Structure formats: structure tokens, C-alpha cells
Chain A
């Protein structure tokens, strides 16, 4: 059985909003969420801007009526997954339902504090702060909250993780293994990742400027984005009216270097090309590309080169929304999938903030303002990560 995979609902939380409506408002107002880190102590608090969800764990937990000892990754994930399921109006216990999440941080926000005591003495530190360290544990917590038994999985392919989660969900539905899949990703800010990326010297000390000639690195962000995917059968039986469906996806590997992308963007080019082939679309059918666009010298040039190889000068409207949210790592694919679906539902495209000058080697000018009332039928979202993991996904309007 193949058939279509429909998007029945979406949910998101990030630096620019705690829900879908709040997020759309921020886009309309060009209101970026990048600012100073406020929810934990770090020597970098005055030098490295981030895209923080401006709600402490205690408040998040309170809003959700869950235990505040949960990791931040799990809390953000529960928030977004619940919004997606509610929006879908699907009864998850009625169907063969799976949860596929993605995360790179897992419970590290709690583990890194635990480790301070544990390092001094292995018998110290509170075990409950480390019991949910593993990536898969965050997913268990989300599954338990949603009442999903049976099939749960977690993918960690760095920054391409949650696109891969959504693609796996689509495949499981197309192979008639599941009827409904809640898929996406979640990642919280942590000292571990801030210091890790800082040691790579790819963090911008100012708000990031994706695809700009003067860009100087990325800003880290946090958040979660989930979609509810359903099969033809579920759509028919529940008389759902989904706004769009998953039309294509691809996963390739750049195989060039552990952290840098190849100059010609071979992995990204192949991912976009294969996603288009699966969707049976030509490049010119795409109305908007949500770029990976981290703001690093390497990614933006490599990705831009790949886009130019595909389109020449006739590229569609495109932008990186990371200038709004920061780079949300494992959650970025899920969050940006939600943005892509929003573009289809609202018939709009989002601006690439803080852009002034095109990168000379590629001369690419992204979308500069929020624009609605335009025809958007097919949207492509790119997510490229460390380890050469490149993924692209295409959503198409019904």
C-alpha cells in the first residue's frame, strides 16, 4: 500500500512564539526572538546571543501540568506535540499510532548540572537529574504524555534529525505499518552545546545574518516542532480536511568532512534533487524554500551553491528563518517543517531578517519581507547537519 501521507495538525514552540498563532504574528511583525540567554548561567551570557524560549522550566511544567523535574527538551516537546495532536483532532488511541521524535541534546540540560557534583565524587549528584539523559528518554516522556504505546523512535542525525523523523513517519504510513504518526523534534539550549559550538568558533557575537556577505556565524536556539501525519484511511474515516501532504523527502550524505560542507554542496544538491524526484516535481514547481541558512560562512555558501546549481538565477522565494529563531539543532527540521506548512496554509512566505548584501560568489537575494496573498503550492525545507547528514522535505497543498 502506498497512497498519500497527509498533515493533519502542527504544533510549535520557539523563541518567536509558544504556539502556531503566536509564531505567525512574529513573522508578520518581523519580530526576531534572538537575545541574551537568561535561563541559565554561563560566562557567555553577554557575548553570545541565542533564540531562547522565554519561559523557565517551572512555568512550562506548570502550564502543562507535568512534573517540573522533566528535562527542558521533554517539556518543549510535550508542549508542541500536544498542540499538534489537538489541532489534528485525531484520536491517537483509535489507530495504530507512532511517535517519532528527534533530539541532539536529550536531557543534557539537567545532566550538565548533575555532572558538577558527580565529577567531584561519583556517589554525588541527584539521580533523578540524569535518569532521562538519553535522547530516547525524552521521546518516552512525550509518548507517555500523549498516550502513545507501540511504536516510538528517536533519530539523532545532528541538525537534520527531525526532517528524518518526519520522513520515517511518512514511510511507515506508506508501508501500512502505522496509520497515524506524530513526528518532529525538540532541543533545549544547554551549556554543553553553547560551549561546543563556541569551541568551533562558528557562533556570531551579534544576531545572525543568514546568507549575508557579512555573516559571521550562527546563534543557537531552542524549541520543538511536531506534525501529525495520517494515512488515506484515517483521512477518509475521520472526514479530515488536511491542508497539505508530504510529497517528497530525501536523505543523503555529503561525505566530505566531519563538520564542514563540500564547497559545491554535493550532499545538499543531491537531497534537494532526490526530494523533487520523489515528489515528481520540477525545481520551478517549488514556490518557497525554507533554507537551512545557519549564518555560518561554510553552510550558507555551500547551500547557496547547491541551490544555484539547481536553479541558476531563477530561484524561487527563499529565506532562512533562523534569523528569527536561532539554530534549534535537532529541532530545526521539525520547527521549519511547521513553518513550511504554515506558508502553505496561510499562502505566505517569511523574510530573511538582517540581510543586506548578497554573498558575492552566489549573488543570491532572499525574501526580505513577510508577504502574503501569494500563490504557494509547494514548499521545500532543507536541513543539513554535522557528519554530512543532508535532508530535504517537500510539502504540497491539497
Chain B
């Protein structure tokens, strides 16, 4: 059952909100950390409520509001959020104070704000949404599972509007820590990450929400056809092939595969191997040179895919191989570290 995208909001290291043409002037970063280009949050939240919101909550609330505004919805029926790291800034603040003050005289606000479900709950509070509210935190599947949940809900009750999203942030502490795991590369041009030799990726962050419905409106809709996640897959090609059994498309029908290539050779090879077997005639594109690598980067990819379908073209900055096919559907094929692979299939409908 297709699920229709009625509105989207995206705050990312690219200028992905406002009225700018899609990726008109992509931002190029040096180093190994990308940072979101943020709007004036006063446009989305009353200044008296902003005071208690950390950066990631503001990002999530703003992206959610953008999606609802575009869809013309005031209060959704459900809010589903995916976040792997949760509210890192507040977690770090409370943890640091706990250690520095030897467990005395601790401010409660960072603790309250540190729980993963704070993002989704704050949106619910601001919109007075008393409906279904869920938060997923399964690393590289966090966003996909919020989509799967939304699809299940809409299968049962199509006449609903559901806000589903993926949000993750970088903080000074988290970046220092992640660097020590040796997955980043020093880099002079993030936009050329996947064209340059080298082994390593760049750190990213972002907040994306989609307003979804089980009901079509007019023509020129874009829908989420299917979503699947594979943990620790031993037979990835077969799993990807089987994925299409539950959809209205065959794998040979895929027009564009948006691959979650990262710049880390061993991770990227797995994606390329499957693509070469199953999608030899499809166009190929990439996205992590735009948003960086982080657990909910597939949310950025989903936003991007929907925008590409809307415009019917693939910008140069995204293309890896142009097969000159009309753009009617896009498969996002993502990986996150070794054990996480996921598929999100979008099409026009």
C-alpha cells in the first residue's frame, strides 16, 4: 500500500529549507565535520518556549513544522521519530556536571531533555497532539523504522496524517569521541569525498520530517512504496532481490539507485557489488558527500529522492552514473557500518 508524502522539512549541512532551488549552491566543507545550516527558530516556536530547547530539539521541531506547513496540517494524528544518538548535548552537559560537581547541586533541565523521546514529545506538546507517539533508536535503522511504523499505522487507518522523521546531531564531545574510532578522513572538499582516493568518511547531522498520509490528493503525488531493513545480512543480494516481491516494481524497473556510499572502502564495496548485479541499467547517485555519515542519513536521502522525483531530474552533484532513464522511481540503498543495510523505495504515483 503506497503512503503519500504530503510535506517535508529538512535541516542539514546544505541549504535544504526555504525557497532556494534544489542544491543550487551546495556547501563544501573541509575537515571531517559537517554542520547544519539552521533557520531562525523564532519562525517556528514562541521565544518563551525556545528557552528550554537544546539545538537538536529546535532542529526537530522546526523540520516537523516545515513538513506540516507544506502539507497544510495543523496537528498530525501521530508523531514517530528516529534518533540513534538522542539528545547528545544535554546528555553531555548533565554527565559533565555530575562528575565535576561530585553528584551535588545538579540542574534538572539537561537530564529531562536528555531522553531520546524528548524530540517527539516536544513536538507533541507544542501541537497538543495526543495521538500515537513513538521513538526508535536502532542506530542506522532509526529513521527506516519510523517509516515502517508509519506505513503499518496507515495500512490499518489510511485516513490519518503522520509525521515521521529522523534526527541526529554532532556535539564537540561526540565528534572527539567518534574520531577516535578512526572512521573519518581529513578532507579538503566534502563535495568531492566520493570522487577522491582515500579511505574514510565525514561526520554529518540533520533533522528531516515527512508528513505522510494513506490518502492520495490530486495528481503528481510522491509515495513511499516500501521500506526494509537487514541486520547482519549474510545474503544481501538475495535479500534486496526479495524486497521487490512485496512491491509493485521489479528490480529491473528501478530508475535511480541512491547509494549510501561513505568513502569507507569496505562498506561501499558491499553496496556497489549488489548494485552491479541487480541494477546494471539504473542510474546511480550518492548523497553522503552532502550530508555526511550519521545514523539517520537515510532521512536526508529520502528527502532528496522525493525532491528529485518532484523535479524529474538528477542534479550533477548527485549523479555517479547517468543511465538517461526517465525518473519515475528511486531506490535508496543505504549502509551504516558493517551490519546495517536498508532500502527505501519511492515513486511517483
Q: Which residues of chain A have a CB within 8 Å of any CB of chain B? A: 42-44, 104, 111-112, 115-116, 118-119, 122-123, 127, 130-131, 134-137, 139-140, 143-144, 149-158, 164, 168, 171-172, 175, 191-192, 195-200, 251-259, 266-267, 270, 385-389
Interface size on B, residues (CB 8 A): 59
B10 to chain A: which residues have CB within 8 Å? Answer: none
B103 touches A171 (CB 8 A): no
Q: Does B283 reach chain A (CB closer than 8 Å)?
A: no
A134-B84, A192-B95, A388-B133 given; name 14 further pairs at CB < 8 Å. A119-B96, A119-B100, A135-B84, A135-B137, A136-B138, A137-B139, A144-B232, A150-B233, A155-B136, A196-B94, A196-B106, A387-B121, A387-B124, A387-B133
Nearest CB of A to B90, in Å: 10
What residues make up the interface of B, taking CB atoms closer than 8 Å to A? 79, 84-86, 94-96, 98-100, 102-104, 106-108, 111-112, 114-118, 120-122, 124-125, 127-139, 141-142, 145, 149, 152, 155, 173, 176-177, 180-181, 229-234, 339
Across the two chains, which residue of chain A brings its CB closest to B104? Answer: A43
Q: Please list 18 pairs of residues, one from A and one from B, whose beta carbons are closer than 8 Å in the complex, sorted by A's number.
A: A119-B100, A127-B181, A135-B116, A135-B137, A136-B84, A139-B138, A153-B141, A156-B136, A158-B115, A191-B103, A251-B132, A253-B129, A254-B130, A258-B121, A385-B117, A386-B115, A387-B118, A388-B133
**Would you call the interface of chain B mostly helix, strand, loop, or mixed?**
mixed
Write the chain A residue with the least CB distance to B155: A175
Contact A199-B231, Cβ < 8 Å, known A112-B98, A155-B134 = no
How many inter-chain residue pairs (CB < 8 Å) link A and B? 174
A4 CB to closest chain B CB (Å) equals: 16
Known: A43-B104, A104-B115, A122-B176. A152 touches B96 (CB 8 A): no
Identity of the chain B residue whose Cβ is nearest the Cβ of A274 in the assembled complex: B132
- Max count, chain B CB within 10 A of own CB: residue among A131, A144, A152: A152
Q: What is the bound-complex CA distance between A140 and B79, given in angstroms?
A: 25
Q: Please name the residue on chain B nearest to A104 by beta carbon.
A: B115
Task: Please state if A255 and B98 are interface contacts (CB–CB under 8 Å).
Answer: no
Q: Is the CB of A153 within 8 A of B136?
A: yes
Residues of chain B lying within 8 A (CB to CB) of residue A155: 134-137
Task: Evaluate contact between B130 and A270: CB separation under 8 angstroms.
Answer: yes
The one of A149, A251, A270 that contacts B134, using a Cβ cutoff of 8 Å: A251
Q: Is the CB of B231 within 8 A of A152?
A: yes
